[in-house]
Structure 1
Amino acid sequence: MNVIKLANTPHLVERAALWFSDKWEIPVEAYRDSIQTSIANKNGIPQWYVVLNDEQQIIAGAGIIENDFHERKDLTPNLCALFVEVPYRNQNIARQLLDFARVDVSVFGFEKLYLVTDLSGFYEKCGWEFLTLVEDDEGELIKMYVADTVLKHKF
C-alpha cells in the first residue's frame, strides 16, 4: 500500500476531509481548509496523507500541521490525526505513514518532527523518542515525542 500526498491529489480532498472529520470529531471544514492550503502551498506546512485499499477506500491517514493544540508553539511542525482503520492495523501502515511524513517534511528544511499523544510504547517502536510533557489547549498534560526527519532508508 502506498502513501498518497493529498497536495498532489486534489480529487481526494472532500473524501479525505470527511474521513478525518469522522475519525477525530473535528469539523470537516477544518480539514477541508487545511488540505486546500496544502494544495496551494505544496512546499510547506500543512501537509496531509492517506492510504487507500484495493477498493480505493481510505484506510489510514495523517497530517502535518504547525501546532497540534498544545502550549509549545516553538516545537513545530507536528504530526497529527494519525489513524489506521481497525482491520488494517498491525500491518506497518502507521509506520509507513510516519516515515513518509518524516521524509516529506525534511524536504521543507525541517530537521525534527513532533507529535503529542496519550499512547505509550507505540511511537517508540516507530523510531520516535519521548521529549517532554506539554500542556494541551484544555490544560491537561500530554506526552510529546520527537523524531529526526531524515531517515536511513528511502521510499
Structure 2
Amino acid sequence: MGYTLQGWIGSANVLRTLGLRFETAQVVALSDDLALIPLDDELQKEINGGAASLIEPWDVLTEQIESAGRRLSMHGIVAYVEADYFGGTGDQSCIVWEKGTERLRETRADKAINCALKLLGVTVSADAADEFDTIRLGRHRSVERWTQDARHRLQALQIRDVRANQERLAEAVDYFWSRWGDESTLNFYRDCIERSCDTDADLPRFYLLTDGEKGAIAGGYALLRSDLNSRQDLCPWLACLYVEPDWRSLRLGSLLLDHAAREASAKGYDGLYLCTDLDGYYERYGWTHIGKGYGIDGEETKIYHLALSTADRNRESAVIENNRSRV
C-alpha cells in the first residue's frame, strides 16, 4: 500500500490565512490545534502560475511554492512536508520556516516529518508511536483523500467587498462605525457604505475580513476618493484599516494592505494614499512618508504613499520582505 503527502502543516489559524492569497487552498484540521493544507494539483497550478521548475531533489517543491511557504511563516511557524512510500519503501522531506527564516531543511530522510513536527511543538502522546502518529497524519494515504475530507475541513479567512455581500451590509455599517466613528457619525457611515453598494463608480468600496464566508468579522478596510480635507488633489485613499485584537498575532494587517494594493491597481490607479499618526508601521510594507496634511478641524496628520506601478512595486518588494523579516 502506498502513501503520498505534500503540503503545509502549522497552527490552524496561521494556515487559514493562505486562503486570502490562493482561492483553492483547503485547510484540514489535524490535532493539537494543528492543521494541514494538502498541495493538490489544483493548488499547485494556482501557486506556480504556469511553468515552474522543480527544486531538486524534491517531488513537488518549486521556487513559487517555497516562496509561498516562507511568506506564510510570517504569520507563524510553518512546515512544508513531502512523503512518498510504496510497499514500505520510500522517504520524506521537510522545511520549517519561522518569520521568513528557514529553521530546518531535511531531504530524503527517514524521520524528516517527525523532526519538523517537533519544531512545531508536537510531543508524542501516550497512545502514539511518534509525532507523525500523534497528529494523525496517517488518517489518509493520499493528497486527494485529504482534500476530500469534508468532516475536518476548516473555513479559510476571506476578504470580501461589502458591495458583493450585501446580506452583511447592516453588519458592515455597525462594524466600521463602532471602530472609527462616534455617536454623531452613525448616519455618515451608513450613508457612505450604502452608497458604495448602489453606485456605478469604482469608489468608495468597503471590505470585510471574515472568519469564513459567514463567520465573525476579524477586520476590514476601505478605499475612498478622499480621506483628508486639505488634500483633495490625491486619490485614492486607504482608510479604516482595522484588525480585531484577538487576530493581531497573525499579522493580518499586512494581508489587508496587500489586498488594498491589488484592488486599487485592478481599478487602474498607479498609487494609493493614507493618513495616520502611527510611526514606523507602514514603512514596513513599502509605504513612503511624503508630507503632512490637515483635517477640517486643523489637526495635523502624516501622509503616506504606496506606488502601484509594476516597476516601483518590484523595486519596493525587496525592501518589504527585508523589513518583514526583522519584525
- TM-score (normalizing by structure 2): 0.44
Structure 1 position 60, deviation (Å): 0.3
1:18 aligns with 2:174: yes
2:277 to 109, 118, 131: 118
Structure 1 position 148, deviation (Å): 2.0
Contact 2:220–2:243 (Cα < 8 Å) also in 1: yes
Q: Secondary structure at the match of 1:133?
A: strand
- Note the alpha carbon deviations across 1:27-49, whole angstroms, 9 max, x for none: 23322222222222365010111
Structure 1 position 127, deviation (Å): 1.7
Amino acid of the residue matched to residue 52 of structure 1?
A: T
1:66 to 195, 215, 225: 225
Amino acid of the residue matched to residue 51 of structure 1?
A: L
Mapped to 1, the partners of 2:251 and 2:307 lie a distance apart of 19
- Note the alpha carbon deviations across 1:62-115, whole angstroms, 9 max, x for none: 101111133010111111111111111131211111111111111222111100
Mapped to 1, the partners of 2:236 and 2:187 lie a distance apart of 21
Mapped to 1, the partners of 2:308 and 2:200 lie a distance apart of 18
Q: Could you say what the CA RMSD is over the residues aligned between the two structures, in angstroms?
A: 1.9
1:31 to 154, 164, 189: 189
1:129 aligned residue: 288
1:76 aligns with 2:76: no
Mapped to 1, the partners of 2:169 and 2:226 lie a distance apart of 21
Mapped to 1, the partners of 2:230 and 2:261 lie a distance apart of 22
Mapped to 1, the partners of 2:256 and 2:247 lie a distance apart of 13
Residues 38, 149 of structure 1: CA spacing in aligned structure 2 closer, same or farther, 3 A cutoff?
farther
1:51 aligned residue: 209
Q: Secondary structure at the match of 1:134?
A: strand
Q: Secondary structure at the match of 1:90?
A: helix
1:143 aligned residue: 302
- TM-score (normalizing by structure 1): 0.89
Residues 42, 124 of structure 1: CA spacing in aligned structure 2 closer, same or farther, 3 A cutoff?
farther
- Note the alpha carbon deviations across 1:98-151, whole angstroms, 9 max, x for none: 111111111222111100000011111122111111112211221000112355
2:102 aligned residue: none
Q: Which has the higher contact order (CA 8 A, sep 6+)?
A: 1
Amino acid of the residue matched to residue 142 of structure 1?
A: T
Mapped to 2, the partners of 1:106 and 1:43 lie a distance apart of 15
2:199 aligned residue: 41
Mapped to 2, the partners of 1:34 and 1:48 lie a distance apart of 9
1:2 aligns with 2:161: no
Mapped to 1, the partners of 2:158 and 2:307 lie a distance apart of 22
Q: Secondary structure at the match of 1:121?
A: coil
Residues 80, 49 of structure 1: CA spacing in aligned structure 2 closer, same or farther, 3 A cutoff?
same
Q: Secondary structure at the match of 2:208?
A: strand
Mapped to 2, the partners of 1:46 and 1:149 lie a distance apart of 18
Q: Structure 1: state its 5+ residue gaps.
A: none
| Number of aligned residue pairs | 153
Contact 1:84–1:93 (Cα < 8 Å) also in 2: yes
